[in-house]
Amino acid sequence: MTPSDPSDGARLFAQIARDLFALASLTQVRNRIVRLAVELLGADVATVWMPAHSGGVASIRAVASTDPPRASQFAEVMSRLHEGLAWDCLQLRVTMSVVDTRTDSRWPNLSAYLEHQPAPALLSVAGFSLDVGERNLGALTLASSTADFFTDHGMLVASVLAEHAAISLDAIGRAEKITNLQRAMESNKRIGIALGVLMHSLGVDELHAFSLLRSASQASHRKLFEVAEEVILTGAPPQLPSRRPR
């Protein structure tokens, strides 16, 4: 239920901000966002969307949803038609709403498709771009089977949730990038140590040592840093899998 008292709303969203920032991954944040959207607004479905590319063609994908099968279906259709509220929220980075999908004429091809679907119709839809500065972090949509469901107050609450969601996604995304960079730097460091071991033990240059690591990695279907760790541990050249006799 949406908070009606301003002080209650402030406390609620302060708690939401703390909860979101306590999560450890983008997947966790996205899943929490869609659950919060349904809990706060009473909507039937909430989904977080991200832009994607398939065969060089722009598309859309649902990265979190309270109704994954329906979200996947909508993603496929919107990607094919290049239209829909979630599509426009992502492409245009705007906030949009639909009072009644039966009478809205902005996406005629999508409307024609939905008329023939057996699933219960979602009559009201609201969408919010998840942006922080120039960073496009996706879009949040909420849908209800009731026409004219989203009041002005409901849209305000949803927009505040979207702001918190965008900030949290940005923070977690940056933290994940830093973590991945640190891991990559550590892997490169260990590979460098392994190269030094091979160069010293075999009397070869750096290029030859790296070729040995790469060949062992490809032949054993292991990652390069895993082979490097083995060389550091044993002090011996990597073992290539023996070939089976023909």
Was domain 6-169 assigned CATH 3.30.450.40?
yes
Q: Looking at the predicted structure, is the pLDDT value of residue 241 above 80? A: no
pLDDT at 7: 54
Same fold yes or no, 6-169 and 178-234: no
pLDDT at 81: 95
| C-alpha to C-alpha distance for 21 and 171, rounded to whole angstroms | 8
Instruction: List Cα–Cα distances, 64 to 32, 45, 50, 110, in angstroms.
Output: 9, 11, 10, 21
| C-alpha to C-alpha distance for 132 and 67, rounded to whole angstroms | 26
94-131 pLDDT, tens digit per residue, is: 999 999 998 999 999 999 888 888 777 899 999 999 99
Q: Looking at the predicted structure, is the pLDDT value of residue 198 above 70? A: yes
Check residues 176 and 69 and name the one with the higher pLDDT.
69
Q: Looking at the predicted structure, is the pLDDT value of residue 168 above 60? A: yes
pLDDT at 4: 53
Q: What are the residue boundaries of the structural domains of the chain, listed by start?
A: 6-169, 178-234
The pLDDT-based confidence of 151 (bands split at 50, 70, 90) is very high
33-69 pLDDT, tens digit per residue, is: 999 999 999 999 999 999 998 777 899 999 999 999 9
Fold held by 178-234: Arc Repressor Mutant, subunit A (1.10.10)
Check residues 12 and 88 and name the one with the higher pLDDT.
88
pLDDT at 12: 75
Check residues 92 and 182 and name the one with the higher pLDDT.
92
One-letter amino acid of 86: A
